[in-house]
A = this chain, B = another copy of it.
Amino acid sequence: MQPTHQPTDIHQRVLARDLASLPDGSPACIAGWVHRRRTLASVTFVVVRDRTGLTQVVVKDAETISRLSGIPEETTVEVTGTVSLNPAAPGGAELVEPTFTALTEPAVAPPVELWRPTFGAGLATHLDHAAVTLRHPRHRAAWEIASASLRGFRSALTALDFTEIATPKLVGGATESGANVFEVDYFGRPAYLAQSPQLYKQMLVGVFERVFEVGPVFRAEPHDTVRHLAQYTSLDAELGFIRDHRDVLVILRAALAGMVEAIESYAAEAASLLHVDLPRVPEEFPVIHFADALELVGADPAEPDLSPAHERALGEWALTTHGSDFLAVEGYPMAKRPFYTHPWAASSPMHPRQARLAEPGGDGFEGSNSFDLLFRGLELTTGGQRLHRPSDYRAALERAGQDPATLAGYLAAFEHGMPPHGGFAIGLERWVARLTGAKNVREVALFPRDLHRIMP
């Protein structure tokens, strides 16, 4: 069939969600993708998909039915017809006596039938054909949850006086860690893709006190894992004039509560489709000290980190003891934290474990004012208080064997006066994977990038 070229007038089109609110028998024009054609003996059903849902179109006219063979699934169409209110139809209304106008050429069949409730292919097929397979309702739903989360993160933080920032993704020198960075040919000189906005968000606390950024970060992760991407979306926040890391936890709680609320408000259908059991975010996160956490799970008290099994056990403990899906573990050993981490502060109520350390001959690790937030027994995000005194930075860089000259622009912020401050970062794709139960973070990213994949 020859597609006619009559682009839809957006002002006159009726969306799927609004069809049932029209009077029975009224004329209506819908537009979308042919989601499914189903031919029975005397009638053909054509389901049309738009951004708000599905509309069932009932075709009985023989000539129109024969024309449908030229409008395969995924072809975009405009359909004019008559509204028939019908409680048995999806959404309570269907379109009858239709006239179809294709808006493009007949679509090539997708690699997977997109109308089937489950996605009938593996991850590689999905990623190879993402431009089409992302249209599957389950993939679309995962991103709708991501998109709502971004909205909730921002609204929670702007309500708390945070200023949105946009920081350089091209950096000239040493970055946060130095390992796993992508090198860029920057007008003939080497530059690097930023692994996080960490240094810039701290500098901008000096300007705006409270800042957040939502943006891409880059890790040249050389391993093929189910939880790492070469590019992911980081939700970063940083704030000044805190007492210690506990104040950062207060803000993190507000951000996560905002994200959950936004999913409830703007992506409820998506969450329901993917059977997401949204967490209740408690008024205050339960907190356990790292040393107590080790003891609780029966680990060696000299362990510098928690294993995945330990984290799972702690998650169960938080649920049974505090009724919470979340648990903050504070006081992580400094040795496992980046150079800008603030040590366990003397002003904090001293933890028994830290007190023993402070005694003459005290062994074990030096604790930090940082935390991991576990969500259902898995690490969701890391945060904490940062150093803010210039002399502390000079000492920390010396300990780390790092040349202060490469960080001169960053260190200037501290020389010129910074408040006690801290922050956190949430990986968007990891958050959505946890919520939806996706085994691989690639399932919930749009066009993920990894060791092997740079296309499409």
Instruction: Please report A residues at the B interface, Cβ cutoff 8 Å.
Output: 3, 5-10, 13, 31-34, 50-52, 74-76, 103-105, 107-108, 110, 129-132, 134-135, 139-140, 143-144, 146-147, 150-151, 154, 158, 161, 163-173, 182-187, 189, 191, 193, 200, 203-204, 206-210, 215-216, 218, 220, 222, 230-231, 233, 239-244, 247, 345-347, 388-391, 408-410, 412-420, 428, 446-447, 449, 451, 454-456
Q: Is the CB of A172 within 8 A of B455?
A: yes
Assembled-state Cα–Cα distance A187/B414 (Å):
35
CB A413 to nearest CB in B, in angstroms, measures 4
- Which residues of chain B are near A166, meaning CB under 8 Å? 146, 216, 233, 428, 446
Which of A34, A105, A230, A417 counts the most B-chain CB atoms under 10 A from its CB?
A417
Partner of A241, one of B13, B220, B231, B388: B13
Assembled-state Cα–Cα distance A54/B428 (Å):
36
Q: Is the CB of A420 within 8 A of B8?
A: yes
Contacts A183-B184, A207-B134, A242-B10 known; A169 to B410 CB distance under 8 Å?
Answer: no
Copies of this chain, whole number? 2
Partner of A391, one of B105, B146, B189, B218: B105
Q: Is the CB of B165 within 8 A of A75?
A: no
Q: Is the CB of B104 within 8 A of A419?
A: yes
Assembled-state Cα–Cα distance A163/B414 (Å):
39
Q: Is the CB of B419 within 8 A of A31?
A: yes
Q: Report 5 cross-chain contacts, Cβ distance below 8 Å, ordered by A residue.
A: A10-B239, A74-B416, A76-B388, A107-B416, A172-B455
Q: Is the CB of B410 within 8 A of A131?
A: yes
Given contacts A132-B413, A169-B231, A204-B446, 12 further A-B contacts (CB under 8 A): A6-B347, A34-B417, A51-B209, A76-B241, A76-B419, A104-B388, A110-B416, A130-B203, A134-B206, A170-B231, A182-B185, A183-B184
Q: Is the CB of B147 within 8 A of A163?
A: yes
Q: Is the CB of B454 within 8 A of A191?
A: yes
Assembled-state Cα–Cα distance A140/B239 (Å):
16
Assembled-state Cα–Cα distance A27/B33 (Å):
65
Q: Is the CB of B158 within 8 A of A151?
A: yes
Q: Is the CB of B33 within 8 A of A417?
A: yes
CB A219 to nearest CB in B, in angstroms, measures 11
A222, closest chain B residue (CB): B187
Q: Is the CB of B168 within 8 A of A449?
A: yes
Contacts A215-B216, A242-B10, A416-B131 known; A51 to B210 CB distance under 8 Å?
Answer: yes
CB A236 to nearest CB in B, in angstroms, measures 14
Which of A173, A193, A244 counts the most B-chain CB atoms under 10 A from its CB?
A193
Partner of A167, one of B140, B150, B389, B446: B446
Q: Is the CB of B183 within 8 A of A105?
A: no
Assembled-state Cα–Cα distance A143/B165 (Å):
8
CB A59 to nearest CB in B, in angstroms, measures 19
